Structures are given as C-alpha cells and as structure tokens.
C-alpha cells in the first residue's frame, strides 16, 4: 500500500501542536482526520485549507475522554476515508495547582483527557490496524512526565502514564507490525502556554539552553518521521523534542 492511501487521525488538532502535526501529515500525502472537542471553526478552517491545497482532510468532533464519542468518531472516519492507519494522541489539557489545593475534578479531568483519552483512542483503532497488519500509534507526552513539575502533579502523572501505557502497548502490538512510540516535547509556544505571566515565561526561557521555546512544527517533524517507512523498527521508545541533557 502506498503511503498516499494511509489515513491518519490526530486528536486535538484544532490548534497548537496538533494542528501543526495534522498539516505536516497532510503535506506528506496522508488523508488526515482532525479531531477537536469544542473548537469547531478553527478545525474546519484547517480542513478547508488542506483540501484547497490538494490534500484530503476531515474534521471530527469527540471528547477523547468519552469512549462512546471516540467509537462514533472512528466509525465516521472509517466510512469517509477507511480506518485510521496512524493515530496521533495529541489532545491534552492542564489544570495546574499545588496538590494541597488541587480539586478532585482537576485531577479527574486531566487524567480523563491526557491518559484515558490515549487508552480510548488507541483501543478504538486497534481492530483496523491488526487487520491490515500495519499501524503507527504516536502519543504526545511531555518532559514534565519524566521530570515532574511543581504545580503540575496531575499533568505529570498523566504524561508519565502515557509513557508506561505506550511501552506496554508496543509489546502487545509488535506481532502485527504496529509500532507505538512517545514524543515528549519541552516548552512549546501554543495556547496551552500562552496564559503564563511574562515573569514566569522569562524564568522558563532562562533555563532553556537554546533560549527559546520549541515551535509546534519541530514536534510535527518528529511525529512525521515516526510514521515513515524508515521508522518501522522503532517501537516502545520515547523521543524528547527538547534541548536539555537528561
């Protein structure tokens, strides 16, 4: 099967890192389904732009934390494009506070989207991938999932969970030539980090050797590589898109 006929689902693709990943995969020739939860207009605008430039794209609404919505979304993609061959678990949220002040719902929401969302979407695409005996699952974690960060215990725990989940799933799916990997970005300029105060931002940049934030396109490049034929022997691995030694 030529790569052109492969179908990719990118969750949380209405903006930020997910939008950059979806655009890059479309440029590589994949048909792309762009998932969003609330941001319908930006997702549809991106889809229009991809289709206008000769690509094949579709916007699909679903809360990744809700397994029945995820099931319906995957069913719709199957009907329109065929089952996803590539899944990029990118959707994520933050609800930051110190543990002593953290509301139970802030813990549950972050786990529901960032960790259960990865489980829901991965499970929903397995049947098609196993049937085709080919597949790529790439999940976006964070360096925070490896290092921890004050005020982000819920987010760090969910992102560490994504790594452990992916390493386990990689072992389960290897017999079907389905690879499962993790990309862990450092501080990246998006809406997620846009709410920081100038002081907090300057403090973060001060600790980054390259003295700048990562660009979403730089994460998209790593994800695209992991979908490629050349990356077929890479599974169960974590790739940091960061400039600090660990």
Q: Which residues bind ligand NAP (CB under 6 A)?
A: 11-12, 14-18, 35-39, 63-65, 90-93, 113, 117, 140, 142, 185, 187-188, 190-193
Residues annotated as catalytic (active site), given as ranges: 155
If the CB atoms of residues 38 and 212 are measured against ligand NAP, the closer one turns out to be 38
Query: Following CA atoms 164, 18, 42, 44 in sequence, which dihedral angle do they give, to the nearest 10 degrees?
Result: -90
CB of 62 to ligand NAP, least distance (A): 6
The CB-of-9 to ligand NAP minimum distance in angstroms stands at: 11
Which is nearest to 86 in space by CA: 134, 18, 17, 142? 134
Of 41 and 172, which has the nearer Cβ to ligand NAP? 41
**At 81, phi and psi to the nearest 5?**
-120, -15
What is the 8-class DSSP label of residue 213? P
Which of 115, 119, 240 has the alpha carbon at shortest distance from 187? 240
How far, rounded to the nearest angstrom, does the alpha carbon of residue 2 sit from its chain's CA centroid? 24
∠ at Cα 26 (20, 32), nearest 5°? 95
Q: How far is the CB of 219 from ligand NAP (least distance, A)?
A: 7
Number of H helices, E strands in the chain: 10, 7
Would you say 81 or 187 has its CB closer to ligand NAP? 187
Query: With respect to ligand NAP, which residue has the nearer C-beta, 18 or 84?
Result: 18
Give least dist CB 77 to ligand NAP, A.
14
């Amino acid at each position: 099967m030529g790569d052109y006929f492969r179908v990719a689902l990118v969750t949380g693709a209405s903006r930020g890192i997910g939008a950059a990943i979806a655009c890059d995969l479309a440029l590589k020739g994949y048909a792309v389904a762009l998932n969003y939860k609330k941001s319908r207009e930006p997702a549809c605008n991106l889809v229009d732009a991809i289709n206008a430039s000769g690509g094949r794209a579709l916007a699909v609404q679903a809360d990744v934390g809700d397994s029945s919505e995820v099931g319906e979304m995957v069913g719709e993609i199957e009907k329109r494009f065929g089952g996803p061959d590539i899944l990029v678990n990118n959707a994520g949220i933050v609800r930051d506070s110190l543990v002593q002040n953290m509301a139970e719902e802030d813990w549950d929401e972050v786990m529901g989207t960032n960790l259960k969302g990865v489980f829901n979407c991965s499970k929903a695409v397995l049947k098609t991938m196993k049937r085709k005996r080919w597949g790529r699952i790439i999940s976006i974690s964070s360096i925070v999932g490896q290092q921890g960060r004050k005020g982000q215990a819920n987010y760090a725990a969910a992102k560490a969970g994504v790594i452990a989940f992916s390493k386990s799933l990689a072992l389960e799916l290897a017999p079907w030539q389905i690879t499962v990997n993790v990309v862990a970005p450092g501080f990246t300029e998006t809406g997620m980090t846009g709410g920081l105060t100038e002081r907090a931002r300057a403090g973060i940049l001060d600790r980054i050797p390259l003295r700048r934030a990562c660009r979403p396109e730089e994460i998209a490049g790593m994800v695209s590589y992991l979908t490629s034929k050349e990356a077929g022997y890479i599974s169960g691995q974590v790739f940091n898109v960061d400039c600090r030694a660990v």
